[in-house]
Structures are given as structure tokens and as C-alpha cells.
């Protein structure tokens, strides 16, 4: 089934609790996999304005992730350091490997990244390398590393369709 990315559901921002939401508030995710009714893996275009991050630096217990830079450039930050990724560059992150990663747009123009990942919310936990937070199984929200829960945050807002 052909997908029109302009008709895919859009979500902006993040459910991270403050103050961890700040660098990701300008993130726009076009949910291409949802538009195709995929259930086993997600496929998204992520649009990052200058200064915006894809996420907090993290790794997943049960979900693989793959990213391909479609346009612009981003800085990939991992436990090994920083690498510049330009259009055509890609990176992958196997499930269960404790290598916190994320993308930062430090350029002066929008970056577009294709993101592909497993969908195993009942099994997966997400661990954040640099901050006192982890995401609980089953879309159970966020907790401090000592187990205290953060207050639930509203779901990110549907974004206006891009024309």
C-alpha cells in the first residue's frame, strides 16, 4: 500500500517529564508505520529543527533501533562520543546493548531522519544514560532510577499537517 507521508499521523514534542522534555519539544514525528497499519515495527520521519534533539540519550532492553539521515545533518551522541551524520548516513542500535544514544541537530537548518524500531512495549524498558529517569514496561510512564514515579505527562500534541 502506497503511503503519502503528508497524510501520516503527526505528533510533536515528547511525554518526558520536565525538565527532560525541553530539548525535544520541537521534535516532529510523522508516523509512517501507523499510516500503513504496521504492528510489529514502527517507521517514522523525525523532523528536527535547529537545536532540537531526537530524544534524551537512551537504550532499550528489548527493541532494536535504526536511523537513516534523509536530509540535513545531526550529531549522533553515544557512549563512544560524538559523530556527525549527514544525508545518507545511518546507524543501528541492537536491543539490550547499554549504549545510550540520541541525535542532536546542531546545524542551522532542519534535519530529517528515518527511524525504524521494534514495537515491544509490554517487554521493553528504556534506560536514560545521563539523567535520573527510565521508562517502564507496558507504556507505564517514567520513574526515577530509585523507582519513584514521575507524574504522568499528557501525550504529545497532534501536529498540524505539513503542506
pLDDT band per the 50, 70, 90 thresholds, residue 153:
confident
Whole-number mean pLDDT of the chain? 93
Is 105 a domain residue?
Answer: yes
Number of domains in the chain: 1
- Mean pLDDT within 46-61: 98
Burial class (CB in 10 A: 0-12, 13-18, 19+), 110: middle
Is 131 a domain residue?
Answer: yes
Q: Which of 124, 97, 128, 102 is nearest to 115 (CA)?
A: 102
Is 96 a domain residue?
Answer: yes
CATH no. for residue 57? 2.60.120.10
- Measured in whole angstroms, the distance separating CA 153 from the mean position of its chain's CA atoms is 17
Is 130 a domain residue?
Answer: yes
**pTM of the predicted structure, to 2 decimals:** 0.92
Is 94 a domain residue?
Answer: yes
Domain residues for the domain of 97 are 21-136
pLDDT at 163 over 70: no
User: Does residue 112 sit in helix, strand or coil?
Assistant: strand
pLDDT at 151 over 50: yes
pLDDT digits (tens, 9 = 90+) for 105-142: 999 999 999 999 999 989 999 999 999 999 999 888 99
Is 145 a domain residue?
Answer: no
pLDDT band per the 50, 70, 90 thresholds, residue 85:
very high
- Mean pLDDT within 15-33: 96
* Cα gap 11→25, rounded to integer Å: 11
Is 127 a domain residue?
Answer: yes
Q: What is the dihedral of CA 70, 47, 31, 117, to 10 degrees?
A: 60
pLDDT of residue 162: 47
Is 102 a domain residue?
Answer: yes
- Mean pLDDT within 151-158: 74
Amino acid at each position: 500500500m502506497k503511503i503519502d507521508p503528508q497524510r501520516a499521523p503527526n505528533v510533536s514534542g515528547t511525554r518526558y517529564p520536565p525538565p527532560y522534555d525541553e530539548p525535544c519539544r520541537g521534535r516532529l514525528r510523522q508516523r509512517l508505520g501507523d499510516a500503513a497499519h504496521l504492528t510489529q515495527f514502527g517507521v517514522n520521519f523525525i523532523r528536527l529543527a535547529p537545536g532540537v534533539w531526537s530524544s534524551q540519550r537512551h537504550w532499550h532492553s528489548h527493541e532494536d533501533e535504526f536511523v537513516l539521515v534523509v536530509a540535513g545533518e545531526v550529531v549522533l551522541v553515544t557512549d563512544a562520543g560524538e559523530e556527525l551524520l549527514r544525508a545518507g548516513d545511518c546507524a543501528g542500535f541492537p536491543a539490550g546493548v547499554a549504549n545510550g544514544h540520541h541525535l542532536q541537530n546542531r546545524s542551522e537548518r532542519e534535519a530529517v531522519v528515518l527511524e525504524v524500531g521494534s514495537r515491544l512495549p509490554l517487554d521493553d524498558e528504556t534506560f536514560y544514560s545521563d539523567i535520573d529517569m527510565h521508562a517502564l514496561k507496558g507504556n507505564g510512564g517514567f520513574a526515577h532510577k530509585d523507582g519513584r514515579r514521575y507524574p504522568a505527562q499528557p501525550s504529545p500534541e497532534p501536529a498540524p499537517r505539513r503542506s
